[in-house]
A and B are shown apart, each in its own frame.
Chain A
């Protein structure tokens, strides 16, 4: 499948004032939808801003996307309108409202439900108003509809191919009930269906105000002109860049069907004149977990990754016209066809595509270069709440912020929402504690989590809790990068691995990894997990020692790792008053010692390093940052193939930039 859109030509040109007025009015009409859905939604996931809105023209091309939408939906909304056009062409009427969540026709995952309202002016279909929101549950075997072990969609959730929810103004109760009866949250989902439908009505009202004022043809013409405008802007910028071909690969941790070993997501890019061509067809075959992506979501990763290097260009189909993308045949991690499981696309291929594209463009635009960021992660605990008499169903469904990659001239951002979408908000634990039998023990920055570099990666955080009175509860986790740890660039070092710990530090301690589902949990169990920091940018031994001392004062970096990662030796005068002084002589000596040894560390026998980890002589960060060795962080079992791959990547991204000793 080649996710390209037909270029269409508009008729006639609008005067600059009418154009500017209508362009801004389209933005307003979409943002009005967003503002309303945020205030009327029922799903706490939508409330946390996992939603998007768009105005799409009658041909199914995006005219305007919400200015605060999450990244993961960009480049996908128009596919929803096209699916409806394909299914209902000739049978679309005023008062109709459609629903669709199908990842195999350009959607993302089953929880993302698009509600689509056709807009008519003078009896003619001129546009679609779309509201896409993440419903809290869509059925399937796991609460929240995130079953890591699913390999086909039947276990994942209810698939909604395009359906009419309102037929010429009449609500189709039977269809709506059929849908929500297949989920764990029928009332909430019905509420959101209604709230989303009403939100699209706000967009319709605005567009009709414009057609009334400016005439239908002018507005329809402007739909096209606004896309042409964005296309012109984009092409002008691409044309300024040199022609050429580039390639980057990022990795999913492993494929359960094939044991250990990193799974490649390969992105090739060619710039030719004012066109960008991406080729992802050499990516790995689909994995035997739900970390696969449909074509819509992969295209979104391509668009969102590219857009990050053109932050000021508005997003609509005009932008997509300047990008072609070859995803290759179906059956791969980036182009999973029906019925391959895809719900975990967001933690899997999606962010790998974005990260690979970041790496490509970091070479092309060094002034916007950025190292790897932490991975999107979702922890779900579902079961019965024994605090209440009726033992109702509860769901503790949580995601975290983390560290972003170090940048050229700037440390990475601490505590920021994922690549998936920086508009996605984390939930307050005080709200969670009212609704679920889970007490949050901590929500804090992890010292030393930022990948060391001349510009340090941003810090990740840790959040965990204690289960008080759950009944028949299970825990599932959707993440990645326990093994392919967020990497540094230009000489920078990796950050920290993801993964969930049960009863950490107790006799029954268990490391559950970064993807698992349906692990039973009992009253009194404690769980915690860190989010990774960002990778470092540039050689950490070049970071001015004073900046490392400042980081120590704030507890972003420990005294111990200041020495190991940065070769900086400090003297603690009085920790109570943040009084540290730099031992310049010792620092110089240590830095020179590290310079002399660090290339050899990457060649040391991996098994003996793993053994020293098991024996407690080395810790996790020593393994990752000094030796490039990846093990199961719980058992200490070495992953030889993964380690070899990880070391090769470290040599390419870090060691090759280190000045000779």
Chain B
């Protein structure tokens, strides 16, 4: 029996691996280029790159962008939709809105299934689930024959009001299965039994178009892992931040739609909690974009309004990540009215920032950091050399000259605008929701997160920045940490006064039975199962609801109502204790707890840092807002042991990242090898 836990996270450019040996608490990390033509190949290569023998692995978990990429590129197999007569166009009509309000030449994307592949059948139930028109089975069989002729590989069955009664959809599925063996069928009452036709239909359609591709991918990867000696279940990270086994993937492929995005948020949560911060903001900054997630009181915020393309919601609970077009490669530019802007356009990998010497000439954030001497001339442990002259030239002609600034002033201005944009984005996920940033830690990772984290924290009055030991493979760590989790829900729309506790108990118990069956089939033993009941509530007359957890007290519902008022107060800064409350939906979070790894921690000794590898003249902003060069020690991260502490400024280099510690801070290495940067008042 082995002792290795392996997590592999596939990204657009790299596939990252994080390995933990449970026996020794030793960790290994690695990176291999992704293989987009066959992503599974890089998964196996990643494991081999850190000398993992799959026979020694007890748990293999995986975050994948296979589903996300398929939705972006729309490489789908031949798919069809079958719906109630009169409603063939629900997914094309959407809610009618456009993302771009003013540009009459910018359109919403086309639906995932073309109109010619959407079919109708005679049937109807009403809002209570009562049958109004029976399913016309003869018509259903004729339709099946047509779909066979068209060579359809996967079908979404989406009937009106099926959230209230899924019998017609179920029967339609049986008929299709009889007539079209081997074709995958997704029904909306199974995929997402919730009210509102477009949300339910589109989620089901997304499931149908993904099912063959994602299902086959996970089947094949599971098979390959098994052949190489792995005996356990492959765990797939799903959008909601839990994981699921292949068996559930075959049924709910669309749950992997945000798999790759969720991992970073989960890692941020874990790192923050281990370091003693129940509230944290995750800042995953890469070359072209930054993902921002929020953890409050140990929980990650989850949304039910997620999409890849505007107008096509995927309504499974998904970890709420705000992605903005700001990264190391974002371009600084001056608009027609003479204002300095930053992003969202990016120099990307080609031509890349000017400093890379690969043809880029427009100034980027990376170039600004080079001019300010914050980035050294060597990256990726010396594999890549930066060219400061080119960076300076780009900043000079692109920003300094037009504004009549020095190059350093211009570079500082570029960084400040980039930071301000990111700060606005963080405000949207924090202050917008009633969270005060001063109660949070900022977990900065990704290639560029640690370059900007401390300045951003000061801008937002966040007191502490946490830079994890391996900022560049943090997402893979996230994959290692997840539990098996299923989120279930049932519509139950009743004023609190009319709600029947017997009825509700029955619904909860029925969900709990289903959940237990799912988890048992996934090999989770009963003692590892945790079930949490939730209820979505709103003030009578409101349109949106808030979901609260039901506790264990003698009157859990009444406690939940109290929690609802408090949440409403926190989120919207007002509550109405005397107003009638309505229940909207009952939910269940069913969790199969996987044993959590213990990461190595070091013995803390209070100590001065070792001798810096160099002293560099780095530009920082002074109290008066003007930039000035500051003698700054540069350290090699691997030489910094737990307990080391000092005041800023400092630059800390490592293979996959550079951490900028500005003046007016104190920094330390904590027991988990994180860098903690404490932001001090400027007067201190």
Beta-carbon contact of A21 and B427 below 8 Å: no
Beta-carbon contact of A428 and B198 below 8 Å: yes
A71 to B93, CA, bound (A): 20
Q: Which residues of A contact B604 (CB under 8 A)?
A: none
Report B310-352 CB contacts with A as 1/0, cut-off 8 Å.
Answer: 0000000000000000000000000111111100000000000
A201 within 8 A of B: yes
Beta-carbon contact of B90 and A198 below 8 Å: no
B126 within 8 A of A: yes
A509 within 8 A of B: no
Q: Whose C-beta in chain B lies nearest to the C-beta of A318?
A: B337
Assuming A311-B100, A430-B127, is B340 touching A461 (CB within 8 A)?
no
Most A Cβ at <10 Å: residue of B104, B161, B543? B104
Beta-carbon contact of A413 and B107 below 8 Å: yes
Beta-carbon contact of A17 and B541 below 8 Å: no
> Of residues 277 to 308 in A, which have CB atoms within 8 Å of B's CB atoms?
307-308
Q: Which residues of A contact B98 (CB under 8 A)?
A: 413, 416-417, 422-423
Beta-carbon contact of B92 and A445 below 8 Å: yes
> Of residues 561 to 586 in B, which have CB atoms within 8 Å of A's CB atoms?
571-574, 576
Report A361-374 CB contacts with B as 1/0, cut-off 8 Å.
Answer: 00000001010000
B205 CB to nearest A CB, Å: 16
Beta-carbon contact of A401 and B420 below 8 Å: no
A482 to B149, CA, bound (A): 42
Assuming A38-B544, A417-B98, A433-B126, is B417 touching A17 (CB within 8 A)?
yes
> Of residues 417 to 454 in B, which have CB atoms within 8 Å of A's CB atoms?
417, 420-421, 424, 427-428, 431-432
Q: Which residues of A contact B149 (CB under 8 A)?
A: 576-577
Q: Which residues of B contact A32 (CB under 8 A)?
A: 428, 431-432
Determine which of A20, A202, A237, A443 lies in contact with B86 in the assembled complex, contact meaning CB atoms within 8 Å: A443
Determine which of B86, B90, B107, B493 lies in contact with A434 in the assembled complex, contact meaning CB atoms within 8 Å: B493
A241 within 8 A of B: no
Quick check: which of B108-116, B385-393, B501-509, B520-528 contacts chain A, the rest being far away?
B108-116
Report B77-115 CB contacts with A as 1/0, cut-off 8 Å.
Answer: 000000001111110111111101111111110000011
Q: Which residues of A contact B116 (CB under 8 A)?
A: 553-555, 578
A355 to B161, CA, bound (A): 38
A429 to B428, CA, bound (A): 32
Q: Whose C-beta in chain A lies nearest to the C-beta of B419?
A: A21
Report B365-390 CB contacts with A as 1/0, cut-off 8 Å.
Answer: 00000000000000000000000000
Most A Cβ at <10 Å: residue of B101, B199, B335, B543? B101
Beta-carbon contact of A554 and B114 below 8 Å: yes
Beta-carbon contact of A68 and B197 below 8 Å: no
A422 to B310, CA, bound (A): 13
Indicate the size class of the contact surface on chain B: 35 or more
A236 to B335, CA, bound (A): 12
A49 within 8 A of B: yes
B132 within 8 A of A: yes
A82 within 8 A of B: no
Beta-carbon contact of B417 and A429 below 8 Å: no
B403 within 8 A of A: yes
Assuming A16-B339, A201-B573, A236-B336, is B87 touching A426 (CB within 8 A)?
no
Q: Which residues of A contact B108 (CB under 8 A)?
A: 413, 416
B681 CB to nearest A CB, Å: 14
Q: Whose C-beta in chain B lies nearest to the C-beta of A229?
A: B337
A442 to B124, CA, bound (A): 11
Beta-carbon contact of B115 and A426 below 8 Å: no
B136 CB to nearest A CB, Å: 16
A576 to B102, CA, bound (A): 40
Beta-carbon contact of A401 and B114 below 8 Å: no
A229 to B336, CA, bound (A): 10
A407 within 8 A of B: yes
Determine which of B105, B195, B420, B572 lies in contact with A39 in the assembled complex, contact meaning CB atoms within 8 Å: B572
Q: Whose C-beta in chain B lies nearest to the C-beta of A373?
A: B104
A45 CB to nearest B CB, Å: 10
Beta-carbon contact of A198 and B89 below 8 Å: no
A31 to B432, CA, bound (A): 9
Q: Whose C-beta in chain B lies nearest to the C-beta of A32?
A: B432
B539 within 8 A of A: yes
A393 within 8 A of B: no
Determine which of B97, B127, B539 lies in contact with A424 in the assembled complex, contact meaning CB atoms within 8 Å: B97
Beta-carbon contact of A198 and B574 below 8 Å: yes
A31 to B198, CA, bound (A): 25
Q: Which residues of A contact B146 (CB under 8 A)?
A: 576-577
A71 to B403, CA, bound (A): 36
Majority SS at the chain B contact face = loop
Q: Which residues of A contact B160 (CB under 8 A)?
A: 429-430, 440
Beta-carbon contact of A232 and B337 below 8 Å: yes
Assuming A413-B107, A554-B116, A555-B115, is B573 touching A202 (CB within 8 A)?
yes
Most B Cβ at <10 Å: residue of A194, A422, A555? A422
Q: Whose C-beta in chain A lies nearest to the C-beta of B459?
A: A21
Quick check: which of A22-30, A489-497, A510-518, A625-633 contacts chain B, the rest being far away?
A22-30
Determine which of A21, A407, A414, A433 lies in contact with B161 in the assembled complex, contact meaning CB atoms within 8 Å: A433
Report A556-595 CB contacts with B as 1/0, cut-off 8 Å.
Answer: 1000000000000000000011100000000000000000
B150 within 8 A of A: yes
B106 CB to nearest A CB, Å: 8
Assuming A28-B428, A311-B102, A433-B126, is B493 touching A443 (CB within 8 A)?
no
B171 CB to nearest A CB, Å: 20
Assuming A36-B572, A410-B105, A445-B92, is B132 touching A439 (CB within 8 A)?
yes
B227 CB to nearest A CB, Å: 40
Report B594-630 CB contacts with A as 1/0, cut-off 8 Å.
Answer: 0000000000000000000000000000000000000
A661 within 8 A of B: no
Assuming A198-B574, A422-B101, A577-B150, is B541 touching A20 (CB within 8 A)?
no
A421 to B572, CA, bound (A): 26
A187 to B541, CA, bound (A): 8
Beta-carbon contact of A426 and B416 below 8 Å: no
A232 to B336, CA, bound (A): 9
A36 to B628, CA, bound (A): 42
A363 CB to nearest B CB, Å: 15
Q: Which residues of B contact A307 (CB under 8 A)?
A: 102
B568 CB to nearest A CB, Å: 8
Report A56-69 CB contacts with B as 1/0, cut-off 8 Å.
Answer: 00000000000111
Beta-carbon contact of B150 and A443 below 8 Å: no
A188 within 8 A of B: yes
Determine which of A24, A47, A188, A401 lies in contact with B93 in the assembled complex, contact meaning CB atoms within 8 Å: A401
Assuming A430-B196, A433-B161, is B339 touching A44 (CB within 8 A)?
no
A217 within 8 A of B: no
Q: Which residues of A contact B395 (CB under 8 A)?
A: none
A305 CB to nearest B CB, Å: 11
A17 to B107, CA, bound (A): 33
Beta-carbon contact of A444 and B89 below 8 Å: yes
Q: Whose C-beta in chain A lies nearest to the C-beta of B543?
A: A47
Beta-carbon contact of A28 and B427 below 8 Å: yes
A357 CB to nearest B CB, Å: 12
A229 to B338, CA, bound (A): 8
Beta-carbon contact of B542 and A41 below 8 Å: yes
Report A404-437 CB contacts with B as 1/0, cut-off 8 Å.
Answer: 1001001001111100011111101111011000
Q: Which residues of A contact B493 (CB under 8 A)?
A: 434
B residues sitting closer than 8 Å to A (CB atoms) are 85-90, 92-98, 100-108, 114-116, 124, 126-127, 132, 146, 149-150, 160-161, 163, 195-199, 335-341, 403, 413, 416-417, 420-421, 424, 427-428, 431-432, 493, 539, 541-544, 571-574, 576
Can you show 6 pairs from A to B with CB atoms below 8 A apart? A17-B340, A17-B413, A428-B197, A430-B160, A430-B163, A444-B87
- Since A17-B340, A428-B198 are in contact, a sample of 8 more A-B pairs with Cβ atoms closer than 8 Å, ordered by chain A residue number, is A17-B417, A25-B424, A39-B572, A307-B102, A368-B105, A415-B92, A423-B101, A578-B150
- The 4 A-B pairs with the shortest beta carbon distances in the complex, nearest first, are A442-B86, A401-B96, A311-B103, A311-B102
